[in-house]
Structure 1
């Protein structure tokens, strides 16, 4: 067994109605003025107001920034960071999916260390702890509440830059399954498959360890056994709880094992064509799994058994069975079959491939990959 390391530096509250503990958490952190980062969609359906009321009822002041968009940009980060400094807040609450949490992490960096978020692009360039942050996910998919990365779009380069540092891990996470029970079916599907991919890629990563494997396998069990039921009926409390916990465990897994070609390739797809992150990942997964099958050492069968329907006894497993099972899952959930269906154009494949190769996830992929391989994978997924 090779050497590995991990730590569990966060405080995580899980359970139906656990949002009510937010004032207690803020007071424990001696926060008298909190900066709430979220988006207009959650404001429109009343989720932001619910959090604001809970904060206010706890006797704590707040300032809100609600202009986060999918695939948030450096301009969004700069705008939010300026408001944070101006209002005098001492902590951050990030409410939403990965976009809100990515912005919150970036604001936390700039609030303490200044400059531009591009100054911290890459691995381990954040010099120390960021502003105390409480993450409240409203989707079961990103795992951002327990991951050490923030992904921000630099529009000047049409590029999704990544800041990776364990210093940007949120200090707290509040996981209330009630928050994901109002999601539209399409969002629940794309985010759910994204969470499953986090676990799959971490499990197949060359950096996988017994710790990350334990998290990934439990995540696959919970998500694989509940994703279809949750998309079918988001009011299903058991399925919602399983998805929320599974997404969290998948996030912990890839925080320590990294991901692979699926995520490396999906970021340029989102940057150039504005395809939602979860949708891009879901489309790419079967193609990348087929490519990585050459490197399989028995783990494909483990994954297959977590996600397949039925309990029939297998008479010999082949890696292509997993690929077909993923295709069937995507079809059941209404995920587009190809990148072309999502609006991706072939002429930008060379540029996307160059950007994908800059990702820190490429070296973690189980099969070695060069830029020509990535271009061919894009063409197959197209």
Structure 2
């Protein structure tokens, strides 16, 4: 079998790494920036931490700050219009997955105008040209959108999340600066951190996993187990923040290339239909779906348990696998994630619509265990 691995051309890591931005822009031969961000980051001065660097370097920019927490088709179209009005030639995305995903869709359509309806980008669209260059500066430690070939946009008409997978969309440069994450609230730190753990675990057990991706994912699990509680309990702890910033990137490097599974397949409808934060949805689903998948992943679950600090030497395979599921559940509870879907407003009458979308989701086929409609519905129901 031939395996493909796509990564950024260049990445910078470490507190203060945003200062590399001007050199990265000039190195790409560009001069006019459209900054893609959201109003919250503008309000709390996080965007300014980056635009100050542009100001000091004398680089011209306009700001598009209309990014929604779950970006939509119309949101992307507004960003495309903003890029054209600005006469920009490069995108700088500042934010979590929403800002970076919006920038990816903008950049792809500018370079591939045949896809200007946006909805034709769903799945593996046959785009011909690389995106307008994107430099991504994440402000959350979760999505790893800065290093993936995936992005997610909501089709408002169908009320569904479109998962788009396109090697042409990967940011040219990723700048991982933990200082941009210090103001992230505890709840969002926990949710995005559990999103990163879900990426690592699903990327480790997905059907497409192999030796290179396994190496990254098991290290990401180890790092997240260590640094997430530290980041939640002490948000300004440099060790915790930088550790999580790197860990989520490591997880993203791998899952972007091998795929995910049922947790994401079932989480996407929760976001599309009920606007539940993606990391929270993943965290609620993850332990239960791990137990569902356990018979197909026994050996790998032992490795997950060990990466999370559990001594499995006296356990049989089933005990070690259950210990991995329990460790994930305990970590989720420790950082304050809700335990049930009922707490998120989901009722039994919502399950049919959620189940239909989950079965159609592009991530679900990567699950190590095949699933039926009734099994997916029962998983949702068990978490009410």
TM interval, short-chain normalised: over 0.9
Asked if the contact 1:132–1:170 (Cα under 8 Å) also holds between the matched residues in 2, the reply is: yes
**Alpha carbons 1:308, 1:325 under 8 Å: kept:** no
The answer to whether 1:374 aligns with 2:373 is no
Alignment partner for residue 324 of structure 2, among 317, 322, 325?
Answer: 322
SS in 1 for 2:21: helix
Mapped to 2, the partners of 1:257 and 1:301 lie a distance apart of 21
Q: Counterpart of 1:222 in 2: which secondary structure?
A: helix
Distance 1:306 1:72 in 2: 34
Q: Residue 298 of structure 1 aligns to a residue in which SS? A: helix
The match for 2:134 is 133
**Does the residue aligned with 1:125 lie in a helix, a strand or coil?**
coil
Whole-angstrom distance in 2 between the partners of 1:337 and 1:283:
6
TM-score with structure 2 setting the length: 0.96
Classify 1:297/1:322 alpha carbon distance in 2 versus 1 (closer, same or farther; 3 Å).
closer
Mapping for residues 90-169 of structure 1, pairs under 5 Å: 90-114=89-113, 115-169=116-170
Matches within 5 A, 1:256-275: 256-275=257-276
Q: Deviations over 1:251-280 (max 9, x none)?
A: 011011100000010010011111100000
Mapped to 2, the partners of 1:314 and 1:102 lie a distance apart of 45
1:308 shift after superposition: 4.0
Alpha-carbon separation, structure 2, partners of 1:270 and 1:8: 27
Q: Is the 8 A contact 1:180 1:240 kept in 2?
A: yes
Contact 1:225 1:306 in 2 (8 A): no
Aligned residues: 380
Corresponding residue for 1:77? 76
Aligned residue number for residue 188 of structure 1? 189
- 1:191-215 alpha-carbon deviations (Å, 9 max, x no partner): 1111011000000011001111111
Counterpart in the other structure of 2:25:
26
- Residue 361 (structure 1) aligned with residue 363 (structure 2): yes
Equivalent positions of 1:286-297 (< 5 A) are: 286-297=287-298
Q: Are 1:6 and 1:211, in contact at CA under 8 Å, matched by a contact in 2?
A: no
Instruction: Specify the SS of the correspondent of 1:235.
Output: coil
User: After the TM superposition, which of the residue ranges 354-363 and 274-283 deviates more from structure 2?
Assistant: 354-363
- Superposed CA RMSD in Å reads 1.4
1:65 and 1:8 map into 2 onto residues whose CA distance is: 26
Distance 2:312 2:196 in 1: 26
Question: What is the CA-CA distance between 1:145 and the residue it aligns to?
Answer: 0.4
Local SS of the residue matching 1:5: coil
The change in CA–CA distance for 1:181 and 1:314 in structure 2 (over 3 A counts) is: farther
Question: Given the superposition, is the C-alpha separation of residues 294 and 312 from structure 1 closer, same or farther in structure 2, using an over 3 Å criterion?
Answer: closer
Alignment of 1:10 onto 2:12: no
Partners of 2:19 and 2:325 in 1: CA distance: 42
Q: Aligned residue for 1:333?
A: 335
Q: Flag structure 1 segments of 5+ consecutive residues without an equivalent.
A: none
Which residues of structure 2 form unaligned runs of 5+?
A: none
Q: Is the deviation greater in 275-284 or in 43-52?
A: 43-52
Q: After superposition, what is the alpha-carbon deviation per residue over 1:289-333, rounded to whole angstroms, capped at 9, x for unaligned?
A: 111012124011111122246x68544352222222222111111
Describe the SS at the equivalent of 1:208: coil
Q: Name the SS for the 1:360 alignment partner.
A: coil
Question: In the aligned structure 2, how far is the partner of 1:28 from the partner of 1:226?
Answer: 33
